Structure 1
């Protein structure tokens, strides 16, 4: 990686990464790492890119104390219960209350996970 420099870093949901890689692969050949990433992302159930963005917006509006990285983890992992959600917040500085976590799960239940 000689001569390459990270200019900006931003947490984005894996559904968006998959979408970008699929669009890129239509006109270009993927390198080894890109191909591995796309294969990995294709194996797991995820929300669509549009649903991911919508969920992230709702969570940011409803819970302004949540960091973007935590919101991306929530969208990527699609927790099904409080135990799964607690694992996401294990190392986060902000620890939501049980009622807030239930609210997060209610927001997630409004969307279908794609296979």
Structure 2
């Protein structure tokens, strides 16, 4: 695209995207892509925004996960080791089974919004 440069890129959880789109839609009409995104985010189970931010902080500080991986974990809400292994499949470093079990235990401490 001519004349457009990405200044900064940061992964954010779906709960934050949903909140931003809902606030924007109060005063403005959403375009097609924004509507599709908001419908997608409303369809799947998620953590609340506050819980998402808290989980992200813990995943990054306690488990030294990259922000992108931490956001994937929060957004996809893995239920078992198989789900979590898929998230870590393309990661350069290996995460051992004990650490993945601790991550699942951390996720179980929070309520999921349906």
Equivalent residue of 1:6, what SS?
Answer: coil
What's the CA shift for 1:93?
1.1
> May I ask how many residue pairs the two structures share in their alignment?
114
Residue number in structure 2 paired with 1:48:
48
Whole-angstrom CA distance in 2 between matches of 1:5 and 1:38: 25
The 5 A counterparts of 1:46-85 are: 46-64=46-64, 66-85=65-84
What is the deviation of 1:111?
A: 0.4
User: Which residue pairs with 1:6 in the alignment?
Assistant: 6
TM-score normalised according to structure 2 size: 0.95
Q: What are the superposed Cα offsets for residues 14-72 of structure 1, whole Å, 9 maximum, x if unpaired?
A: 111001000110111111111111011111011111110000011111112x2111100
CA RMSD of aligned residues (A): 1.0
TM normalised by structure 1 equals 0.94
Q: Which runs of 5+ in 2 are unaligned?
A: none
The separation in 1 between residues aligned to 2:4 and 2:26, in whole angstroms, is: 25
1:69 and 1:17 map into 2 onto residues whose CA distance is 15
> Matched residues in 2 for 1:96 and 1:75: separation?
17
Gaps of 5+ in 1: none
Name the structure 2 match of 1:105. 104
Structure 1 position 2, deviation (Å): 4.6
